[in-house]
Amino acid sequence: MVTTKARDAGVAAVRGLALALMSLVGSITLFALAVTSIALIPVGVGVFTTPALLGLVRSHADRRRLLAATWADTRIPVVRRPLPQHSRSGIAGQVEHCTLLVKSPATWRDLRWLLVDMTAGAITALLPVSLFSEGVFGILLLLGLWKPVVRAGGGYWYEFVRVDSWTTAAFAALVGICWLAVGLRFAPQLVRAHFAVTRWALAPTREAELGERIDRLTETRHDAVDTSAAELRRIERDLHDGAQARLVAMGMNLSTIEALIEKDPAQAKKMLSMARASSAEALTELRDLVRGIHPPVLAERGLGDAVRALALRLPVAAEVDVDMPGRAEAPVESAAYFAVSEVLTNAVKHAQADRIWVDIHDADGMLRISVTDDGRGGASVGAGSGLSGIERRLGTFDGVLAVNSPVGGPTMVTMEIPCVLSSPKTSSC
């Protein structure tokens, strides 16, 4: 028990130190650059630098959201519209892009968080390691460190104890032990306090969240309609160019066979074999088409088994961990399945990964899916990226997508969709 607490406290101290470095280095640097760039917009320079810097700010905030979920099980909602894209080319398009970004409420929330993160966030993150270092220093005073310290300064105050002898050094060591005890007891809570401050600064107000959610759902509804229309056109094209063409050819072959069956039985037999092969190919194409619309294993066995079946067909090793006591509604399962399929395809094709891990579980009314690979990294959500399509697909269900993919890897893609699971034998969400 004591060993577990000590290990948890040590991990919390290391994480706190890492968070403090992110706050004092990353947040201060990004805040200074972003504010300077925004101030330079009137003279024209900021028009070209601000979008890139605000993109880095958003990535920095999303990385902290990801750490909050993995280190403290704290969910910080991402309620903002995707980065606006150019509707016009050239300088006019750049000005429009910059203007939309600066007007976005999410941009100012991110900047406010940077300001809070470099102050209160850094302090709460440093407290665990500060408690341990202060406690260790107090003990070192008793072990003889007090002598050179006193000689160098003519006396030394450790907290409220003036250290100038072995006796006072012993009192300082007792105080240090108290600090260590406090650190062992409260270090994990202090890290959670850091993420509580982060959530307070990053999460929108209820009114802003509802307003932005309405805008986002309106946009994703249009995307869903466009996607459905495109999917219907794809199905029609695949049927016309694939199975339908084969069935027409097979019908023509059968007509020819009718004419040849008495005159040239050998040729008729040969064409019957060709017709049988064409029917088998048409059936295979129809099965693939149906699988692309809604895989049978997804309907029959649920999301977990469907993703496992998907992983078995990958050319690289993949591990799938599922912890779902029930099933989500069919549209949510379908959206999650095809989102995971797209991420896995990206990991194999673009990330050149050798190993992939998929985790699917239910967390406080959220279907949370994470896909991690050991590829080369560098993935981002942007124009022309397959991840943008996944983000739009999830947005239809008020879901979110977070990507953490430093250059060199690894890449972790996290997806969350609000949904209450139900028993497979009862009605869904």
Nearest of 358, 337, 339 to residue 294 by alpha carbon: 337
The pLDDT, as a whole number, for residue 213 is: 64
The pLDDT, as a whole number, for residue 28 is: 93
Q: What is the spatial distance between Cα 423 and Cα 429, in angstroms, rounded to a whole number?
A: 10
Domain boundary among 293, 328, 348: 293
pLDDT confidence bin for 428, thresholds 50/70/90: very low
Q: With respect to residue 218, please indicate whether it lies within any of the assigned structural domains.
A: no
Domain boundary among 160, 188, 204: 204
Do residues 124 and 196 share a domain? yes
Q: What is the spatial distance between Cα 45 and Cα 33, in angstroms, rounded to a whole number?
A: 13
pLDDT confidence bin for 256, thresholds 50/70/90: confident
As a whole-number percent, the residues of the chain with pLDDT over 90 amount to 9
Query: For residue 34, what are the domain limits?
Result: 2-204
Helix (H, G, I), strand (E, B) or coil at 426: coil
Mean pLDDT of the chain: 78
Q: With respect to residue 220, please indicate whether it lies within any of the assigned structural domains.
A: no
Mean pLDDT of the region 132-160:
72
pLDDT confidence bin for 29, thresholds 50/70/90: very high
- Could you tell me the CATH number of the domain that includes residue 400? 3.30.565.10
Do residues 334 and 260 share a domain? no
Mean pLDDT of the region 350-355:
81
Do residues 275 and 235 share a domain? yes
Contacts of 264 (CB under 8 A, 6+ apart): none
Please give the structure tokens belonging to residue 299: 């309907």
- Cα–Cα separations (whole angstroms), residue 45 to 38, 41, 91, 98, 337: 9, 6, 12, 11, 44
Instruction: Please report how many Cα atoms fall inside a 13 Å half-sphere around the Cα of residue 314, on the Cβ side.
Output: 28
Nearest of 60, 106, 58 to residue 79 by alpha carbon: 106
pLDDT digits (tens, 9 = 90+) for 211-242: 666 666 666 565 555 555 555 666 666 665 66
pLDDT exceeds 60 at position 306: yes
Do residues 264 and 351 share a domain? no
The pLDDT, as a whole number, for residue 427 is: 37
Q: What is the spatial distance between Cα 343 and Cα 341, in angstroms, rounded to a whole number?
A: 6
Amino acid at 41: I
Q: What is the spatial distance between Cα 141 and Cα 106, in angstroms, rounded to a whole number?
A: 49
In the chain, the number of structural domains is: 3
DSSP state of 409: -
At 426, give phi and psi (nearest 5°).
-115, 180
Do residues 401 and 283 share a domain? no
pLDDT exceeds 50 at position 426: no
Helices and strands, number each (H, E), in the chain? 15, 7
Helix (H, G, I), strand (E, B) or coil at 82: coil
| Beta-bridge partners for 367 | 362, 417
pLDDT confidence bin for 116, thresholds 50/70/90: very high
Do residues 30 and 161 share a domain? yes
The pLDDT, as a whole number, for residue 55 is: 86
Q: With respect to residue 217, please indicate whether it lies within any of the assigned structural domains.
A: no
Nearest of 180, 182, 162 to residue 172 by alpha carbon: 162
The pLDDT, as a whole number, for residue 218 is: 65
3-class DSSP string for 29-49: HHHHHHHHHHHCHHHCHHHHH
Do residues 252 and 342 share a domain? no
Contacts of 192 (CB under 8 A, 6+ apart): 72, 74
Mean pLDDT of the region 356-385:
79
Do residues 141 and 200 share a domain? yes
Of 43-47, 106-110, 273-277, give the lowest mean pLDDT range. 273-277
pLDDT exceeds 90 at position 150: no
364 Rama class: left (phi>0) / alpha (psi -120 to 50) / beta: left
The pLDDT, as a whole number, for residue 429 is: 45
Q: With respect to residue 219, please indicate whether it lies within any of the assigned structural domains.
A: no
DSSP state of 162: E
The pLDDT, as a whole number, for residue 43 is: 86
Do residues 364 and 405 share a domain? yes
Do residues 333 and 385 share a domain? yes
Predicted TM-score (pTM) above 0.85: no
Q: What is the spatial distance between Cα 27 and Cα 18, in angstroms, rounded to a whole number?
A: 13
Q: With respect to residue 209, please indicate whether it lies within any of the assigned structural domains.
A: no
Q: With respect to residue 224, please indicate whether it lies within any of the assigned structural domains.
A: no
Question: Residue 48 CA to chain centroid, in angstroms?
Answer: 28
Domain boundary among 278, 293, 308: 293
Q: What is the spatial distance between Cα 240 and Cα 30, in angstroms, rounded to a whole number?
A: 53
Residue 163 contacts residue 54 (beta carbons within 8 Å): no
Q: What is the spatial distance between Cα 77 and Cα 278, in angstroms, rounded to a whole number?
A: 52
Question: Following DSSP, what letter does each residue of 234-292 receive, concatenated?
Answer: HHHHHIIIIIHHHHHHHHHHHHHHHHHTTT-HHHHHHHHHHHHHHHHHHHHHHHHHHHH
Q: With respect to residue 245, please indicate whether it lies within any of the assigned structural domains.
A: yes
pLDDT exceeds 80 at position 11: yes
pLDDT exceeds 50 at position 149: yes
Do residues 95 and 166 share a domain? yes
Amino acid at 188: P
Q: With respect to residue 212, please indicate whether it lies within any of the assigned structural domains.
A: no
The pLDDT, as a whole number, for residue 292 is: 56
Strands (DSSP E) contained in 117-264 are 156-158, 161-163
Do residues 182 and 316 share a domain? no
